[in-house]
Structures are given as structure tokens and as C-alpha cells.
Amino acid sequence: MNIHVKQDEAAKECRLDDMKQGILGRDVSRPDGLPKVTGTAPYAAEYKIDGCLEGVIVTSTIVKGEVTNIDASSVLDMPGVEAVIDDPRLTARAAQGTAGEAPAQPARKVGYFGQPVAVVVARTFEEARDAAKHLKIEYRVEDDAIVDPEEADAEAQGDGTKMGDLAEAMNSARHSVDVVITTEGHNSAPMEPHAAIAEWDGDKLTVHASLQMLNYNISELADSLDLDEEKIRLIARYVGGGFGSKLGVSEETVAACVAAMELQRPVRVVMSRQQVFQCVMRRSETRQRLRLAADEDGKLIGFGHEARVSNLPGEEFAEPVLQSSEFLYRGENRLLELEVARIHRMTAGSVRAPGEAVGMPALEAAMDMLAEKVGIDPVELRLRNIPERHPAKDLPFTDHSLAECLTKGAEAFGWDKGPRKPMQKREGEWWIGTGMASAARVHNVSEAKARVTLKADGTALVETDMTDIGTGTYAILTQLAGEMLGLPVDKVLVDLGDTNHPRGPGSGGSWGAASIGSAVFVACEAVRKQVAEKAGVSENELSLSDGRVMNGATLTDLLDGADISAEGHYEPGAISEDYTASGFGAFFAEVRVNRYTGETRVNRMLGSFGFGRVLNAKTARSQCLGGVTWSIGLALTEGLKFDPRDGHLANCDLAEYHVPVNRDVPEVEILLLDGRDPLASAIQAKGVGELGMCGGAAAIANAIYNACGARVLDYPMTPDRVIAAMPENA
């Protein structure tokens, strides 16, 4: 049975709140936990396949031009070497998220330093790696590549938002801020490198790969290989982190498939860590101008946010820096414009929370500067500027929790209200200070399908090609199905990451849980109807818990040997167009800054978040902790460094690109403001995977200023930048 629900209206009465099992929302441990902690969960490269060959990617040593010759004979005599794959189907870049079509081909056309151009296949990894280093390649170099975004021409992205007269508002405002803030590029750096094993039986491909969105990836792969989707099965049961870098199919997956098809043997291709940095996606650097104009009470009358980002020629993705700035604060005179510089650095694409991850830290630092000028508490400044409706589109908001997050967060943190002055507290060499920032991340929900089967043995099976990239999909779908069908968690099996199952939404843009959760919910409603029929009651009267129907009969008795199955198909309708939906939050941080070295350490942090229904308190909190950790990295340590001559990424590993380590992360308190957003999805939930890093870096930046008086305008705020900005008297 197939059920299709298109949501045009608010899900005001959600059956989830009438259920009796009592597991949804609770802090249930992940069902995939024991396989993970015991090392028995298989990731993409870890399937044991007889006769599997090893492929190693060879990358370009030029920036722009063309490969004119790949001399396979230079390595074919080396021990163990089976083949050099040099094929027009090999891809030069990773696909952008939700592309659904092949990324740039052929690999022989070079657009950036470090681009994959060929693959060497050998019997062992050591043999393939050695041969890859010896492969002779000739190029025709084009020496007109621009690699610096400041030197390149920029293209406007759309028309932007223009309302009233911002320049006039800035002139007439009682208080104003006009500031340029920059952020450096970032790498997703998931702990599992991109990997794939491809098997070709002469007709069909079976591919184990590390990917976030199989529903799109299968189309991207089919298009890359010029093969029908029906001839491909993609499997990704465990994905070792993605953070955007595994949204689109990347070069190693296509390479493994091409090699397996050419050689008629299974082939594994795993990127080195350096290749993960250089060949997949970077978050663009940004240069942002913020203009805030306020009246004497701090109410915004003008709001300007302009940003310049970069990408390769031909790439559609532009870091959507202004995404939440469009609606977060009031101001009738508005100017928001985004432009993209075309340069020959590696592909820019989605890295966790594209847009807000860098837009919010800039906006929220500027808001801190405005609060100081107006002479009011920065929390109060934000409370005074929450708009009633989307300021430009004039749309109503769905559930809006910013004010609650700000006030509850401030109270829990012990925020010192009132106007603030820097350099008030010092302990030895360390200045101590606090700062805060708002959080916002647009809510997305997308089409999704899942099959739910209530089995005759009294267990339930949930099947979809949706992935769990660490986000907790296994846990929340177990809870949703268990809640609806009255089963404890150990009676529900969730089978994910296989394109043989109904197509989910993929993991990305924080839309996974709300979308696939709604599909499972819709399927469960249909199953319940059939159970109710068998029990001779209406669905509304049907009460299920612990495998029993309300009168005491077991589900097994009631089913009498027959399974009940339904495929749920959820699709957002008018709710996506008629409203502005966002998750909201607030960050509070206490830091210490060393007077002599400029080193910043975070003493403690608190984040309060509102995103509708909390599906699992434990995994939702973990998502927020992860976001706060990324906020610390973005504020203090993370930045891609490109060689100004050829645009190659100089810090392309985990020793030189500094993600936060355990000791960088202090006590972090997370407040989950459990709510209901009936306009967000059928299960009244919004996304939470990215919200925790949308603004957090500004709480740290503002705390640095409050501590020592250094107003640093460039992220990350490394010791050299902090010391240079520190006032004489600090």
C-alpha cells in the first residue's frame, strides 16, 4: 500500500502526541551504538570482497589546461600494477549537493591544482600508491588562471534585496555600524575519507560508497557513467561523517566504477586525507560588509549585508552568506547582495551550514558593535529587533523561538545584563570576558519515501535509502516507528542506505530528520489503519503499547501470521512557499585571552535552541554539541591557506588545518527548547544538524572583545590577529 501526503497546511493535530509507547523525544541510545564502539560497523571501504583490486588517484600538478598524454607504460611494468585508468568518464570535480547529474568531465580538462586526472590500479594498496607516484603525465598549460578572489571579476547572484534607501538611513541614524568582516575557507574534514568499492557483473554495478544522499547520488553516478539508474545499486549503511563533503558523488566513486567496468574486477578507491582536502569541496572564503543603522533605542531602521565569495568557473554553488540575514532582524531600509568571484581554486561547495556558518558570525559581531554604540545589553538589542514578519517578503513565520532562546539562554548562563565594557576582569596573564550571539538556520524539508512493515512476529521494519551520517537517523526512525506502532526500541529494525529501498531525502541541509521522519510517520499511520480494522476499532481509538493492543491482545495474535506493510510518501506543499521557517537559538561564551600571547581559550559555553519537536534528546543534544565545537574551530583555528601563485591548498591535512581537539572544547551546556512547529513538517519538527554552528563563533569573538578590548574583524581569531588588535593599555 502506498500513501502520498502533500502538506499544504499546518499539522495542527499530530497523532504522535496521542501515542502510548513513550519513547519519542526521550534520550534513547543509538541502536547503531554497539556496532560502532566495537568496530564491527562496516564503512564503505571495509566490505570484504574477493579479488578486490586497489585504485589510487593521481592528481594534477598544473592549475589550468589539459592533460595531453598519460604514459601508462611508465608504470605498467611495476610490480602488481594491473592498469592505468584514463577514461573520459572520470570526473574532475565532486557533484554539488542535490545536483542529480554528472559533475564536470572529463578529468583530462584541468581547472585547479590537485584535480584528479587518472587512477592507477594494482593488486595491493602499496603497489598502487607507488605506481601512482611514478605515472608520467604531460600537460598543455594555460597560464591565464586567476587564483586570488580579490583579483577576479565577480558576478552578482540574482537581484539581491533592495528596499528603501540604506545610505540615507545610515546618514540619518542616531547609531550606526559600517564594518567589513572576513572569514577564511573551511574543509568538512569528515573522519572517514571518501571511499568506494565497485563491483560490475557485466550488467549491473554494486557500489559501496561513503555518501550522504543516495537518492541524488545514484542519478549523478548513472549520468557520469552513461548507465541506467536501474543498473546501479548504491549502499551506504555507515558513513563516517560528511558535513557537506559527501552530498554529491565525488571522484573516487566514479573512478572505482569506471575501473571495475573496464577491468571486470572489483575495485576499491579510497582518497588520501590530502585528496579529501584538495579534490572535494572547500567552503568559500568571504568578505562581508555589514551596515546597521539604528534609532536612539537601538531599533534598526537600516540593514545592509553584502558579501563576496568565490568558486570555479561553471559552478552554480555560491556560499549563501545572506540566507538568515534576510529575515533575522527588522529594518525597513535594506540592501543585501551576494557576488561570486570566478577563480581557479578547488571547487567551493557545501560545508556544514552553508551560508549561516559564516554569515551569522559576521552579522552577530556587527550587532555586538551596535549594542555598544547604543549603550544597551546585546541581548536586549536583539530582542528589540525581532520582526513580526519576514521584512522583505512580508511572509509570516512558522514557530519563532528566538526571543525564548535569548532569554532562557541568558538566564541559564548567568548573563550579566546591562551595557557592557571591555577589560573588566583579569586573572594573572589572562583577561576574562563573555559574549553572546543569536543563532538562526533556515529550515528545509523535502520529499521522502519510506516503507514500514509490521511483521507477523510483532517486530517492525523500516526501509529507506536515507543515510545516517552520525546524525542519529537509525535512532529517531526507530523511535518514530516504535511510538506509532506501540513497540519498544528493540522490536524495531531500521534498514538504511540502500537504493533498493524507497528513496529518502538524503542527509544534508538539516532536512533529513523532518523529511524522512514525516515519510515514516505517514507510513505508520497507514499501518495503524489496517491494524485498527483488524482490531475492529477506528484508528483514533487504537491504542498500542509494548506489542499489545489496548484490550490486552498481542499484535502477533491480531496479525495472525500476516505482515502489514505501507510505503509512506511525504512531500511539502504550500507550507514551503507561504511561510518563513527557521530554527533559532542563542549562544553564550566565556573566554580567557592571554595578554602576552593573544591566545584565546574558551572557558565555558552555552547554547539554547528551538527547532520544533525534539525527536531524541540525546542525539539532538549531540548535534548541538557538534555545532558548538565547529563554532569554536571557526572562531579560533580553522582556515584554509592557498598559495597565492598557483592557488593550491597549502594546509591540506589535519596537522596544518586545525579542527578543535578535545582540550579545545570546555564544558558545554545545551538547552533544548522542545516545541511543536506544525508548519515545519508532518511531525512538527525542524532540522538541528547545523543550527549549533550558526553564530556561535561570534559569541566567542564578542567575548574576546569583552575580555581584552581586541575587536578582531577576521575569522579565525588566531593569536597573531588578537595580539595585533589588542589595545595599548590591555
Dihedral (CA of 316, 318, 319, 325) sign: negative
Tell whether residue 75 is a contact of other proteins (CB under 8 A): no
Q: Which of 73, 264, 662, 729 touches other proteins by CB under 8 A?
A: 662
* Cα–Cα distance, 49 to 359 (Å, whole number): 45
Q: What are the grid coordinates assigned to 726, written together?
A: 589588542
x-marked contacts with other proteins along 609-628 as a string, rule CB under 8 A: ---------xx-xxx-xxxx
Residue among 32 and 571 whose Cβ is closer to other proteins: 32
**Nearer Cβ to other proteins, position 302 or 660?**
660
Residue 420 binds other proteins (CB under 8 A): no
Q: Is residue 29 at the binding interface for other proteins, with CB under 8 A as the rule?
A: yes
- 563-602 residues in contact with other proteins (CB under 8 A) are none
Least distance from C-beta 697 to other proteins, angstroms?
14
**Cβ count within 10 A of residue 344:** 23
CA distance 332 to 302: 6
Give min distance, CB of 536 to other proteins, in A. Answer: 41
Kindly identify the residues of this chain, within the stretch 239-268, that bind other proteins according to CB under 8 A.
239-243
Of the candidate residues 10, 41, 167, 263, the single one contacting other proteins (CB under 8 A): 41
Question: 82 Cβ partners below 8 Å, 6+ apart?
Answer: 53, 121, 122, 123, 263, 265
Considering the rule CB under 8 A, would residue 48 count as an interface residue with other proteins? Answer: yes
Give least dist CB 268 to other proteins, A: 10
Q: How far is the CB of 189 from other proteins (least distance, A)?
A: 6
Pairing of strands 300-311, 136-141: unpaired
* Contact characters 665-704, other proteins, x per CB under 8 A: x-xx------------------------------------
Output the smallest distance, CB 632 to other proteins, in A: 9
- Count of residues touching other proteins (by CB under 8 A): 64
- Applying the rule CB under 8 A, the residues between 123 and 142 that interact with other proteins are 124-127, 130
The grid coordinates of residue 610 equal: 528551538
Return the closest-CA partner of residue 431 out of 713, 663, 722. Answer: 722
- Residue 37, interface with other proteins (CB under 8 A)? yes
Going through 164-219 in order, the beta strands assigned E by DSSP cover: 175-183, 195-200, 205-209
Residue placing its CB nearer to other proteins in the complex, 112 or 243: 243
Binding of other proteins at residue 439 (CB under 8 A)?
A: no
Residue 119 identity (one-letter amino acid): V
Phi, psi at 711, each rounded to 5°: -100, 95
Report the nearest approach of other proteins to the CB of residue 352 (Å).
Answer: 10
Dist. CA 133–CA 136, nearest whole Å: 9
Quick one: 179 or 659, whose CB is closer to other proteins? 659
Using rule CB under 8 A, residue 453 touches other proteins: no
Please, what sign has the CA dihedral across residues 504, 509, 513, 518?
A: negative
User: What are the strands of the beta sheet with 582-594, ordered from one edge?
Assistant: 425-427, 430-442, 582-594, 600-610, 667-672
Closer by beta carbon to other proteins, 354 or else 678: 354
Question: How distant, in Å, are the alpha carbons of 110, 132, 227 from that of 116?
Answer: 9, 12, 22
Distance of CA 230 to the CA centre of its chain: 29
Nearer to other proteins, 225 or 270 (CB): 270
Q: Which is nearer to other proteins, 189 or 439 (CB)?
A: 189
- Per CB under 8 A, does 487 bind other proteins? no
CB of 258 to other proteins, least distance (A): 23
Please answer whether residues 610 and 601 qualify as being in contact, where contact means their C-beta atoms are separated by less than 8 angstroms.
no
Half-sphere exposure of 542 (CA within 13 A, CB side): 27
Query: Residue 161's beta-bridge partner residues?
Result: 336
**Residue 103 binds other proteins (CB under 8 A):** no
602 versus 725: smaller Cβ distance to other proteins: 602
Catalytic residues: 690
Kindly state the smallest distance separating residue 188's Cβ from other proteins, in Å: 8
Give the C-alpha separation, 111 to 103, whole Å.
13
- Does 317 sit near other proteins (CB under 8 A)? no
The phi, psi pair for 508, rounded to 5°, reads: 175, 155
By CB under 8 A, the residues from 166 to 225 that bind other proteins are: 188-193
Residue from 272, 350, 464, 518 touching other proteins (CB under 8 A): that is 272
Closest CA to 646 of 181, 258, 112: 112
DSSP 657: S
Hunting for cell 598519460 — which residue is that?
A: 70
Q: What's the CA gap between 262 and 83, in Å, rounded?
A: 9
458 near other proteins, judged by CB under 8 A = no
Find the shortest distance in angstroms from Cβ 361 to other proteins: 17
Interface with other proteins (CB under 8 A): 29-30, 32-43, 45-46, 48, 124-127, 130, 188-193, 238-243, 270, 272-273, 469-472, 618-619, 621-623, 625-630, 653-655, 659-665, 667-668
